[in-house]
Amino acid sequence: MPTSKEEIRRKYNLTDEEHDVVEALALRPTCEHCNKALPPDSPDARICSFECTFCAKCAEEVIGNVCPNCGGGFTARPVRPTRNWRNNNYLGAIPARTLIKHKPVDPATHARFSGEIRKIAPEKR
């Protein structure tokens, strides 16, 4: 499995620019649980390290800061600049994804999954 940027570029025959787009956050458009709109500039979006995306209310109140997909914790999603300050690293060049990933969490299943995990601080999981 390729791990370095150069290995990934070679394996998939990507230019530097194409690799940067692949590496950029997807900025998913909605909460995976409640399907609330989370536009690219939303201060309400929360992500785990795999970029599973939930609104703040669902991340805190519904799933208790335990990602139902990986068990990790959540943090606020950064906002991608809308202006091209440097090197085309902005929303106009690398837009947010539009594909909705709506997978409501079953509370009973999540409670069984997250019961022990939530006792561990997110940074130690």
Within-domain flag for 11: no
Within-domain flag for 22: no
Q: For 40-60, write each residue's pLDDT tens digit.
A: 999 999 999 999 999 999 999
Number of domains in the chain: 1
> Comparing 36-40, 50-54, 69-73, 89-93, which segment has the lowest mean pLDDT?
89-93
The domain containing residue 111 runs over which residues?
28-124
How far is it, in rounded angstroms, from Cα 125 to Cα 122?
A: 5
Confidence class for position 3, pLDDT limits 50, 70, 90: low
Within-domain flag for 15: no
Q: Which amino acid is at 39?
A: P
What pTM was computed for the model? 0.84
What 3-state DSSP class applies to 119? helix
Within-domain flag for 5: no
Q: For 93-121, write each residue's pLDDT tens digit.
A: 889 999 999 999 999 999 999 999 999 99
How far is it, in rounded angstroms, from Cα 105 to Cα 85?
A: 39
